[in-house]
Structure 1
Amino acid sequence: MPAAMRGESRGAAKPRAKAPANSKSSPRARKPGASYAPGKLGAVRGAGLSPWGALLAAVGVVGVALVVTLSTGHRAEKLAGGAGAAVGGQLAGVGFRLKTVHVEGASAMATPDILRAAGVYRDDPMLRLDLEQIRQRVEAVGWVKEARVVRLLPDTLVLAVVERRQLAVWQHNGRSYVIDETGRVIPEADPGRFARLPLIVGAGANEAAAAILPEVAARPRLAERTEALIRVDGRRWDLRMKDGSLVQLPAVDEGAALIQLEQLDQRSRILELGFERIDLRDPSVVAVRPRDGVLPGQLVANGA
């Protein structure tokens, strides 16, 4: 009787579950990695979430990927890159693609060159845009002094720039250039479109212009009669007037010479008298030459 009981007990025992035929499908056998991220994001998309919902899910996926990355030793960079690419691709599929680029702080002439340099295109995946590389390309444009690039999800890129101030048109070796206040050439600027800027001429004129131009601009009667500023021997300026006359400035303290000229003009309207040349190189005298060129240079002591 006891034996029968034991026999019945063995017969009633439940059979053990068989091991899976393919051990690779077991959760324990799965190797750590980022390859599961697309599947999870695909499920999110299938659930009908908005792009922002997908973004929150993606953040969770990236967080899991980082945990996995920390446990994989030398494969960390590869796995992190794979996770980032997968997330960027999936988010692009739910609406995170470039639709609009805003350029702020740039003139209408500069904007097309800035957009070309940015090198971005409609429908680029937003999270795959390298903002630092875009910034470097934009700052390589001659118009741009500095730039900042901002990504506004889900679909907008902002290029905020500080444009270089156009100071003058510089003629040198038979060519014309637009320069900024540091004397740097702006290659993209067409000099023909900057007739309002003062004209400077000669070697080194671009580097010295920032000091002399404000002095001339501060004297409207002189500025409106000046056609060009000519750099002489890399050390001083001549002012070529619109009536063809020439005002010669000294190599040092040109501001004082312009004050002297302004005072003389207020008293005697010297800029309207049609002299061929007004020589201010000697601070003690103002030498003038009549336009007919027959008379020798006339000295006007102390500007009197």
Structure 2
Amino acid sequence: MQSLGPVRGHARGRRSQEALLARGIAAPRDASRRLPALSGTRALIGLKPRSLRLGRTGRDPVRGKWLLLSALFLASAVVYGAIIGGQTGVLFNYAVAGVEHVAVAVGFGVKRVSVEGQQNATDSAITAALGAGPQTLMLAFDTDAAKARLEAVPWIRHARVMRLLPSTLQVMIEEREPYAVWQNKGKTFVVDDQGVVLAPALPQAYPDLPLVVGEGASEHAAALYATLQSYDQLKQKMLAALRVGDRRWTLKLRTGTEIMLPDDNIEVALQSLTELQQEHGVLERDWSVIDLRLLDRITVRTREAAIVPPDDIAPSDVPTVATGTTPKGKT
């Protein structure tokens, strides 16, 4: 078989077309103008799933701008609606709550509370006053307000609250010291030196604390016992101090004897009692009342004596330690 060269083969094909055209038959187009057929086994599409990139808006800048404008328009509409409807506070609170929730979720919530100086204040009282829990955001916790709430607890005199990031609150407190047991109107409390009621209490629970009785006794107890500090013998014999009319004291001894002190100048009266004790041992005798209210004399009554007039009934010309005067006709 003889093969045709490219020139001869091309000429023969051209003559064949001319012959067909002469007979009115459409000749096929030149085969050489057809698209070349692909030879071999090359792959037409070679995409793999991991090479797909979804949402590539960079190739379509117009679409990306429209999405951004749509988001801004929606946000503006929400804000405008909140302003018109007077709900800006609600919207702000929702936003703040969302931020706090995220911060707590990543570890900025109160997880631990460290307390120093606690002796009598209860855990429940401190926890309630502190007002912090696992959902409390550390960064937003108001330490000054917590300090004020803690110092409102009766046992706590001073408090300090500090944040130790990320999740610890440190509380340092200074407690009030029990000073006396106060009995008034059938109820008994333990109080500090300023008369602040710390808690209900039975006298038996605080055997080493002095017992004061009556209206105003809690506020004036510290001043009385500061004066009695130099009179140990008298203090050891005392059972209680009774506040009379919220103006003066009567000391009740364990023997049942009552020592009636003046309104003022208690130191002068106690000094006179000390001298009388040294000379006559009046505190060792079975007296019902030792009256120190008068300036120039000490009156004692036995248990069989007549009923003593009420405390606030006294002759106007009888001097007392408080007035510092002497009776008429006396020097």
TM-score range relative to shorter protein: 0.5 to 0.7
Partner of 1:131: 143
Contact 2:188–2:200, Cα closer than 8 Å, also in 1: no
Report the Cα offset of residue 191 of structure 1.
Answer: 4.2
Report the Cα offset of residue 141 of structure 1.
Answer: 1.4
Please say which structure displays the higher CA radius of gyration.
2
Report the Cα offset of residue 255 of structure 1.
Answer: 1.9
* Correspondence 1:1-304 to 2 at 5 A: 18-23=60-65, 25-26=67-68, 85-122=97-134, 124-186=136-198, 188-192=199-203, 193-293=205-305
Q: How big is each residue's C-alpha offset from its partner over 1:156-177, in whole Å with a ceiling of 9 and x where there is no partner? A: 2122233233332222222222
Q: How big is each residue's C-alpha offset from its partner over 1:228-272, in whole Å with a ceiling of 9 and x where there is no partner? A: 111122221100111111111111101221222234334443322
Report the structure, 1 or 2, having the larger strand content.
1
Contact 1:23–1:29, Cα closer than 8 Å, also in 2: no
Report the Cα offset of residue 183 of structure 1.
Answer: 2.5
Report the Cα offset of residue 293 of structure 1.
Answer: 4.1
Report the Cα offset of residue 23 of structure 1.
Answer: 2.9
Contact 1:145–1:164, Cα closer than 8 Å, also in 2: yes
Report the Cα offset of residue 284 of structure 1.
Answer: 1.8
Select the structure with the greater relative contact order (CA < 8 A; seq sep ≥ 6). 1
Contact 2:113–2:168, Cα closer than 8 Å, also in 1: yes
> 5+ unaligned residues in a row in structure 2: which ranges?
1-58, 76-86, 309-331
CA RMSD after TM alignment = 3.6
Question: TM-score when scaled to structure 1?
Answer: 0.64
Report the Cα offset of residue 211 of structure 1.
Answer: 1.8
Q: Secondary structure at the match of 1:257?
A: helix
Given residue 131 of structure 2, which amino acid in structure 1 is its aligned partner? Answer: G
Distance 2:208 2:238 in 1: 12
Distance 1:198 1:24 in 2: 83
Distance 1:239 1:208 in 2: 14
Q: Relative to structure 1, is the Cα distance of residues 18 and 120 closer, same or farther in structure 2, using a 3 angstrom cutoff?
A: closer
Partner of 1:10: none
Distance 1:115 1:217 in 2: 39
Contact 1:24–1:30, Cα closer than 8 Å, also in 2: no
More deviation, 244-253/158-167: 158-167
Given residue 286 of structure 2, which amino acid in structure 1 is its aligned partner? Answer: G
Q: Relative to structure 1, is the Cα distance of residues 254 and 93 closer, same or farther in structure 2, using a 3 angstrom cutoff?
A: same
